[in-house]
Chain A
Amino acid sequence: MDTILNQKDIDRVDGVQKVTGSAKYSFEYDFPGMVYGVLATSNITKGTISALDTKAAENAPGVLAVITHLNCPELPGYKTTPEQEKLAATKKGYKVFADNIIRFNGQPIAVVVADTFERATYAASLIKASYNKENFNTDFEEAIKSGTPLEGNNFKEYVRGEANAWKNAPVKIEATYTMPIEVHNPMEIHGITVVWEGPDKVTLYEKTQALSNTQQNIMRDFGLKKEDVRIITQFIGGAFGSAFNTWPHSMAALIAGRKVQKPIKLMLTRNQMFTLVGYRPQAIQKLSIGATQEGKLVGITHEATAMTGSYNEFTEGIVNGSRSLYNCPNVNTTYKVFPLDLSQPTWMRGPGETTGAFALESALDEMAYALKMDPIEFRIKNYAETDLERKKPYSSKYLKECYELGAEKIKWNERNHEPRSMREGDWLIGYGTGSGIFSAWRGAAKAVAKLFPDGTLILQSGVTDMGPGTATAMTNLAAETMGLSHTKISFELGDTNLPPGPLQGGSGTTSTLGTAVFNACENMKKRLAELVKDNPVFHTEIVHNVTVEDLVFENGYMTLKTDKTKKISYADVLKNAKLGVLEISEDSKANPMLNHSAFSYSVHFVKVKVHSKTGVIKIERAVTAVDAGKIINEKTAESQIIGAVVGGIGMSLMEEGVIDHRYGRWVNNNFADYHVAVNADVPNVEVLFVDKPDPVLNPIGAKGMGEVGIVGFAAAVCNAIFHATGKRIREIPVTPDKLI
């Protein structure tokens, strides 16, 4: 229950700001003359706007402007090139107010600007539109029946060995798994503050996981120079993938702010969070697995079907895990995506893998039962020692250790394999497991380290932090590398004026940025060593010209390895050299990983209680063991895994986006109807780290962990429910009505 405290456990560096309310999120900046933008949205699903009546809104008190497709200024980025014209509709994308076409229900048709939030909100309700309606389809199952899937390179079948080899295996299972749309729903509603200085220079406070990309998008759409687009993102109130894109509402605020030339802020409503900032696509997946009587996998066939919006081809690696998680000679996967008249999906925590692992890991459990074999034993029997898909060794893989750690913690060996065999009063008890895999990688990033004569160190990089604690981890890393107390270090982020950092996502931030920070610190130490090379302090009989190898860097001092009495503080080095600052700029390259495959792994163990009569489900225990390489800060790392597990609880038991296909309109676009887990749903999640460095991916040994913590969890819950009740639920979320 208590976390083990060690030097890796520094508190969050931005904790005080967050607990005192002084942390400023994108909608919370204030400037003189601030005005408010509010969106009006379509209530039809497909067609064209034939007429717009904006008079009442324009005449409403406090209204400064109403912008629609009729009066939206021509933007450089809105001009379509002849090549773009030729693209398929699903590749064209959509630009707010660029035309009168309605592509989904809830699409913005106007932005109203007024002097107060209340007035803007009211005026937006006065916008009246007439439409030429067209037939539409928002029903995924209908699209599978009568629609045409997208074509192209993203949808090629993968075959290893023999396709459909499972059919000829002595033991086989076939099953179809379905999951609904899930919505990120970070607690901070997406919002933006925009401050224009004239028509060609803008500063925006934007909720983004990708500062540089957002800057590029705005430069392109408005035809602006890089130095004229500054983006500041000091805090992000969660995102989980919803803040990579530059969404229509941000463009609307930019367009409106430029027109009225006043500082403007715009925040979506919680309802609009379901249609305007992406979601995890609905998916139906068929898994077919064949094995020998002894439990060796013969063949896996994974056929996945998912959906996207009509104007944006969204694809993700749903079938990837099935190709590489197990040692199976014959694997074939197909991936079909059907366009629907809905807004576009986007990456959501553990994109693709989370969806795929729900099916794969449920099917593995079904096979284990078909074989009368313990599900963990079955997995270990088919352990992949090399990446059969890429034909490469792993940079590091401690999945086996994860199985062992987790199994021991939850006392897996006390589990009676027989379904519906364990009971406490009216409650049926079940244990289940599921594994996760997620690609580990390292991109390019820049970081600057500045050491000052007072002994403090400032690190800078234009990354943003949506919550995992990037600044904390980087501070931790720099403290360890530099031999400096973390209290002397500050990390500056969230500003395009800083050297460009990586985007925050794909579980690559720590690997990527950590490399830049680590290298900057190492180079800083080399520079410090050069500065003291002739310093008499270090002269001994053996050493005359010290090099970095002769020195130990700790507690803010350089100390001679051979004689601990000889030392000098970093501060004094700078003072002696009369340097106001020692600055190291690090431009770290991506690691192409030509000779290795790198993945993070998770294994979830779940104990559920299912009420034998009412079908009510309680997660009693959740134990998650993770191989994410070396852990930089245990405290924030543990929290990140707990958070992923909580997301997994929502996914498996309650999250379900519902659309009324008669109208193409959401029916549960709010927190009362779209349930996410509350405190009472969540047990004391137990997190275990293997904590062994990856020797190849980067110099710090860390892989990634944000995504892998949710991958496989839903299957673990469904498998536990099967163990408890004998009922195999292949459709999440598992609500009580499915168990009565």
Chain B
Amino acid sequence: MDNQNQQDSRRDFLKKSTALAALTISSTALVRAGQHDEKIASLFEKVDLHIEVNGVAHKLSVEPRTTLLDLLREQLHLTGTKKGCDYGQCGACTVHVDGKRINSCLSLAVTNEGKKITTIEGLGNEDNLHPMQEAFIKQDGFQCGYCTPGQIMSAIACIKEGHANSREEIQEFMSGNICRCGAYPNIVDAVMEVKKGGQSS
């Protein structure tokens, strides 16, 4: 892991570059002095990021402040993952990182270096739906459809984690995904159906 040194050297280069050449103080102090001058902050280099999304390897260069959610939606155009609150309070942005469900709105993209991300687009397509996608249609586990990708990602993880052994357990372990249309009972039916039928992953 020589990342740190690499970055430091790049920063050294930056300090010497024209924009900051006249200033002999460190960029950190500069930011402090200028409070919120992002002109300078923007000179901070983007960070290299290697991630695999739905089986496709990406080599990206991203601003550290970009969340995994915004990276997926705005840069990779994978808009199936939804923004419902942006504060980790609704679950619409649920994706799998190395097989585990997380809220992508609270995960900085850069902290996912080397990880495998699965989004709703990586599950199945029209001709070959994932059993959970099929079950959501059959059980009518949605209305407007906006929370649905997050619900489905969460539902698959719920079974995989072993938290789908009863209606009550499913309810508790699906409570991180808010559905304002109120499809909850049908969502539980869908999870139970897939659980009963066994789940391919």
A residues within 8 Å of B by Cβ? 1, 3, 11-12, 14-25, 27-28, 30, 56, 59-62, 116-119, 122-123, 125-126, 184-189, 235-240, 267, 269-270, 466-469, 635-636, 638-640, 642-647, 670-672, 676-680, 682-685
Contacts and interface: CB of A to CB of B under 8 A. Distances in A.
A163 to B, nearest CB: 40
Nearest to A686: B185
B110 interface: no
Nearest to B120: A21
A635 B42 CA distance: 52
A187 B178 contact: yes
Interface string B177-201: 1111111111111000000000000
Given A187-B179, A240-B180, A678-B175, A18 B87 contact: no
Contact of A235 (B121, B138, B145, B182): B145
A237 B87 contact: no
Contact of B74 (A117, A239, A644): A117
Contacts of B182: 642-647, 677, 682
Contacts, number: 204
Given A59-B39, A118-B63, A28 B73 contact: yes
B184 to A, nearest CB: 4
Contacts of B167: 684
Contacts of A187: 82, 84, 90, 92, 144, 146-147, 178-181
Contacts of B32: none
B23 interface: no
B145 A116 contact: no
A469 B183 CA distance: 13
B148 A19 contact: yes
Interface of B: 36-39, 42, 63, 65-66, 70, 73-74, 77-87, 89-90, 92, 119-121, 123-126, 129, 133, 136-138, 140, 142-149, 152, 167-168, 170-172, 174-189
A189 B36 contact: no
Closest 7 CB pairs of A and B: A21-B80, A646-B182, A237-B146, A18-B145, A467-B144, A643-B182, A467-B143
A186 B144 contact: yes
A186 B146 contact: yes
B137 A11 contact: yes
B201 to A, nearest CB: 17
A20 B81 CA distance: 10
Given A188-B146, A639-B140, A678-B178, A672 B87 contact: yes
Nearest to B130: A19
Contacts of B189: 1
Given A30-B77, A670-B87, A21 B171 contact: no
Nearest to B88: A672
A18 B140 contact: no
11 contacts: A18-B145, A19-B152, A116-B63, A117-B70, A118-B70, A670-B89, A678-B176, A680-B175, A682-B182, A684-B188, A685-B185
Given A25-B146, A678-B178, A20 B121 contact: yes
Contact of A16 (B65, B66, B79, B126): B126
A236 B143 CA distance: 10
B73 to A, nearest CB: 7
A522 to B, nearest CB: 29
A469 to B, nearest CB: 7
Nearest to B64: A118
B171 to A, nearest CB: 5
B145 A467 contact: yes
Contacts of A25: 79, 82, 146
B141 to A, nearest CB: 9
B83 A267 contact: yes
A18 B190 CA distance: 15
Given A240-B180, A642-B185, A679-B177, A468 B143 contact: yes
Contact of B185 (A20, A21, A185, A682): A682
Given A61-B42, A269-B86, A18 B184 contact: no
Contacts of A670: 85, 87, 89
Contacts of B77: 30
B171 A639 contact: no
B24 to A, nearest CB: 23
Contact of A270 (B78, B82, B84, B140): B84
Nearest to A635: B140
A314 to B, nearest CB: 22
Contacts of A117: 70, 74
A723 B63 CA distance: 58
B92 to A, nearest CB: 6
B140 A56 contact: no
Contacts of B89: 270, 670-672
Q: Which of B133, B136, B144, B174 has the most CB of A within 10 A?
A: B144
A185 B181 CA distance: 10
A516 B133 CA distance: 33
A410 to B, nearest CB: 16
A14 B145 contact: yes
